[in-house]
Amino acid sequence: MNISHGNGAPVSGRVRPSIRVHRRLLAGVALAGALAMTTTACSGGANQRAAADGNTIKLGLLYSLTGDLATVETPMHDAALLAVDEINAAGGINGKKIEPVVEDYASDNAKAVEKANKLIEDDHVVATLGMYTSASRLAVLPKFEQSNSLLLYAVVTEGLECSPNVIYTGITPSQTLEQTIPWMLQHLGKKVYLVGSDYIYPHTVNAIAKKLIEQNGGEVVADDYFPLGSTEFGTAVSKIKNSNADVVFSSLVAGSIPAFYKQYHAGGLDFQQRPLVSSITSEAEIAGMGADNAVGSYTASSYFQSIDSPTNDAFVKAIKAKYGSGQFTDREMAAAYSTVYMFKKAVESAGGDLSTDHLKKVFPGTSVEGPQGTVTVESNNNTTMTSLLGKVNASGQFDVVQDFGQVKADPFPASVVPNPPTCPVRVK
């Protein structure tokens, strides 16, 4: 696989806010001006017609079931369908079954726009759950805003965005980096080597990490980026080995993760002597590389399969029963699953009015007990959740070494964004 979370290509010919933000972060310029966005909301929308007609409530599922991204998006789609099946088996929502309207955008952002248009204009879905990369989210966002339809985005995000037409149920840097970076500097070392894939998400995350490292008395000794899909890291490993770095912070993604971890060991580096911390690496990547290549590394997250709770135990058991005993669970799967249950609660709160404008009002405050613990949508359309730091053990699962507790999501964290805008705001 050669893509994850976003890429550097222009979206619909417009400058993406996150790219603009990243450049200003690197330049140390105040971000408020770059993030000034109109707060005017679209009214009406084809999706509002007949939203509650019939005996079902339509929920769009827009994922890549084919193409390069299928390996990461299909499990999210599967977890969402599990939640739909459970809700329907228990009587549905206010007596109506959820009707999943599934569209495969085949890892193609242009096709994602086409499929989003179909779901909104032809199928009249109440909301759409899906997308994975930042680029795909930004590609479809104008359609959701212009048609005043609702996108449920259940993926880790770089933040620095909060559209009124998106409910963000993935974890943000304010819930990972702001907790993990100070802990890392205190417990693992002050000198940090940054590595990442060369596109929007890692650049933005590492720019935020740099700010936090500097603010907490640390030092960035190097900042290296590699083309998407890179699997050759021999030179990078040599540079890390010969540097004075105490710890490596990685925002490498997808297929680059197993390659880098394997070559880290092959190059004579050790996670005990020179620890590695990531905000991306999950059970999915560990399954691909083998536990031996990941033991001792750290990941900041909101979920680990090893979480011991009745809700997570039931989730893991249900996933394995439905999709096979070898199926792992990870953060994005847990988020997709919980988001369907949040959709259920929001629709219940909405009563008979399932218009987008009414759902926008009732979603904030919606809270469920998901596999990752309590998750609550806030007034900024982002989600409060537990912040965890895990360390990979010999079985390929994570031991929680630090539970930072429930942390509210701030898409414009004050530590790096002076004078942030008030959320939600439309993206231009």
Q: How far apart are CA 149 and CA 321, in angstroms?
A: 34
Among 59, 17, 61, smallest CA distance to 36 is for: 17
Tell me the β-bridge partners of 208: none
Among 186, 126, 183, smallest CA distance to 350 is for: 126
Q: Provide the H-helix boundaries in 147-199.
A: 177-187
Cβ neighbours of residue 78 under 8 Å, at least 6 residues apart? Answer: 319, 322, 323, 333
Q: How far apart are CA 45 and CA 295, in angstroms?
A: 50
Which tokens is 236 given? 């990078």
Q: Is residue 132 part of a domain?
A: no
Element (H, E) at 61: strand 56-63
Q: Is residue 168 part of a domain?
A: no
pLDDT at 389: 98
**pLDDT by 10s per residue, the chain, length 428:** 333 344 333 323 223 333 344 444 444 423 332 333 333 334 444 444 444 457 899 999 999 999 988 888 999 999 999 999 999 999 999 999 999 999 999 999 999 999 999 999 999 999 999 999 888 999 999 999 999 999 999 999 999 999 999 999 999 999 999 999 999 999 999 999 999 999 888 999 999 999 999 999 999 999 999 998 899 999 999 999 999 999 999 999 888 999 999 999 899 999 999 999 999 999 989 988 999 999 999 999 999 999 999 999 999 999 999 999 889 999 999 999 999 999 999 999 999 899 999 999 999 999 999 999 999 999 999 999 999 999 999 999 999 999 999 999 999 988 778 888 888 876 55
Q: Is residue 415 part of a domain?
A: no
Tell me which residue range forms the domain holding 213: 174-301
Q: How far apart are CA 105 and CA 247, in angstroms?
A: 39
CATH of the domain at 262: 3.40.50.2300
Q: How far apart are the first and last CA of the chain?
A: 31
Instruction: Give the count of domains, the chain.
Output: 1
Cis upstream peptide for 424 (omega within 30°): yes
Q: Is residue 70 part of a domain?
A: no
Q: Is residue 118 part of a domain?
A: no
45 in Cβ contact with 147 (< 8 Å): yes
Tell me the β-bridge partners of 301: 388
pLDDT at 201: 87
pLDDT at 28: 40
Cβ neighbours of residue 113 under 8 Å, at least 6 residues apart? Answer: 12, 139, 140, 143
Q: Is residue 233 part of a domain?
A: yes
What DSSP assignment string belongs to 322-357? HH-TT----HHHHHHHHHHHHHHHHHHHHTT---HH
pTM of the model: 0.87
Q: How far apart are CA 249 and CA 196, in angstroms?
A: 9
pLDDT at 135: 86
Element (H, E) at 85: helix 70-89
Residues in the chain: 428
194 in Cβ contact with 206 (< 8 Å): yes
Q: Is residue 203 part of a domain?
A: yes
Q: Is residue 30 part of a domain?
A: no
What DSSP assignment string belongs to 355-406? -HHHHHHHSTT-EEEETTEEEEE-TTS-EEEEEEEEEE-TTS-EEEEEEEEE
pLDDT at 428: 53
pLDDT at 284: 87
